[in-house]
Structure 1
């Protein structure tokens, strides 16, 4: 992988990897990014969560056509073997010259397998981390609007936490459920693909912190008319403020 691609790829993967029932395929000249192990603070290695990931190396590929067949076969085999609800394909390093072909292969596999197969072009952005967030947002946004919103409560929210406020998002979800507010999805959180596909049916979005998830909330407001509550800060103060803002929002709405 080209060093300039690493922050972009890492940010995209950090935002999308929590989706528990998706396939993550790394397509390029990298091995470490597909490593199925995590290193703990003490230096010990332990297995990552049992989710399929593959690095389809291109270094020895004799040409574009060969690389195209390799990606197609890899995707087909992994989807058949793991039956994911969606697949994310991260292009890195020398795969950047195959952008159009990657899109074509993903489209072909999507039609044949009947699941979303979404390419993420994480190369060529000069190592700008925010580009990784933008690419991940576009991938999540592509899943939205493809599921039914039937049965979603008129008192409902999505929590957009950007993966950096997990404990706050978890606490907010617990409190919301206790007070009768349906939490449709936590993005990226650990919401499965099906939750993401119908999260456009929520009444409001609650954005915790800055960055990519704020961008996603703006996209959802433009496309689906979903208002959002934006909170910044950290720790218990943000958790308390989030709960107060959600309570205030729905109290005001129900009185109208």
Structure 2
């Protein structure tokens, strides 16, 4: 039986607000959409934080460069971090003509013998998808031979963009890993973190607070994740979507199959971190846990507020434009508001309808929701008089042209802004940007120019 996902089913998600009672597709592919990253990129981004698994790209060598090592997803895994090794079958012309299944089987054999991974993710790319290589059969046979899960992930780039690739990755994990192993023990407060990639260590900014309350993270998908843990994820009492709304399909199906309820949280800034911790405690439904969560939140907020006093004095009256994606359109905006910065505009180009509604709720009616930030953000900066631009690296040039401070808050950033302490890191970086003379000097004419 093929494990290929039904793309049409993944595009229409009943758990998304804007799909209820409608036939409209969710994140349907559009011409040119893969220029921002294809389905393979999305699947690799979603699965790469599993450091104890080998990630094998079945396709031409060029395909491996799309998402490999593009994000800082640190791991506390004590063994060999296999995400630092690029595996590919390197399909050539002969494999196109005669088939690449033997080469794929040999590659899995080599990985199992030489690296001893806990699992092997096999990513199907455009070429073997077109030539018809049966990666399901190869993976099934090699799983039986080596005694480890070999998971086929059907993500040829032509099926859609990164968001869809993340959904397909979730489908593969749900079908081949979750529910295949029982945990050694369970607790009343076991949760799964879904869509937490631990970019720059953000998971570690708040996980210790959950553990202090007695809330155990049974598994993560997939930040600092372990294959053995995700296999036991069906025994959790609650799923918590942290970032990737593309994985809402996964949480809905886990609720249908295993009866696990789910909520969505953000851990950027003081307000959202507090709300997230309390929401988890309330969803678990224990009165004593809720009381202890409130006490922990009060303690952490008081500690943070005292440290933020000098920062808020500097940020008073400052305006910012935010150009990032997904739920960061409102979650990072919330963090900026915690610092006393007015967010006058945010990008919602990659946001869901729920994200857009939340951005409007957080920023108010007068804020600008940019649907095409590449062409809008320069004019927005002029119209609003913003002093800060927070975005990905490509927007640095807009900040230089407009001579305003810039901070990189995209997934390629080098520092963690999650949790209470992450807000202090963000505040320090913003002050450094505001006080950096380069943004005032870089676009100034030379003394000898008229």
The alignment's TM-score, normalised by the length of structure 1, stands at 0.84
Aligned to 2:138: 105
Taking the TM superposition and a 5 Å limit, the aligned residue runs for 1:153-172 are 153-163=187-197, 168-172=202-206
Q: Whole-Å Cα distance in 2 between the matches of residues 119 and 28 of structure 1?
A: 13
Taking the TM superposition and a 5 Å limit, the aligned residue runs for 1:17-36 are 17-31=48-62, 33=64
SS of equivalent to 1:154: coil
Residue 237 of structure 1, CA deviation: 2.6
Q: Go from structure 1 to structure 2 and tell me whether the alpha carbon gap of 1:117 and 1:99 turns closer, same or farther (over 3 Å shift).
A: farther
Q: Are 1:121 and 2:158 matched, yes or no? A: no
Moved more, 163-172 or 209-218: 163-172
Moved more, 127-136 or 6-15: 127-136
| Kept after mapping to 1: 8 A contact 2:192/2:240 | yes
Q: Unmatched 5+ residue regions in structure 2?
A: 1-32, 73-80, 290-450
Aligned to 2:214: 180
| Bigger proportion of residues as strand | 1
Deviations 1:34-55 (CA, angstroms, capped at 9, x unpaired):
59985799xxxxxxx5544322
SS of equivalent to 1:109: helix
Q: Whole-Å Cα distance in 2 between the matches of residues 29 and 90 of structure 1?
A: 11
Aligned to 2:429: none
Residues matched between the structures, number: 247
Residue 118 of structure 1, CA deviation: 0.9
Q: Whole-Å Cα distance in 2 between the matches of residues 105 and 81 of structure 1?
A: 19
Larger RCO of the pair (alpha carbons < 8 Å, separation 6+): 1
Taking the TM superposition and a 5 Å limit, the aligned residue runs for 1:1-256 are 4=34, 6-31=37-62, 33=64, 38=69, 50-51=82-83, 52-63=85-96, 65-99=98-132, 101-123=134-156, 125-141=158-174, 142-163=176-197, 168-231=202-265, 234-252=268-286
Residue 120 of structure 1, CA deviation: 1.1
Q: Go from structure 1 to structure 2 and tell me whether the alpha carbon gap of 1:62 and 1:253 turns closer, same or farther (over 3 Å shift).
A: same
Q: Unmatched 5+ residue regions in structure 1?
A: 42-48
| Kept after mapping to 2: 8 A contact 1:109/1:117 | yes
Residue 29 of structure 1, CA deviation: 1.6
RMSD of aligned residue pairs (Cα, Å) = 3.0
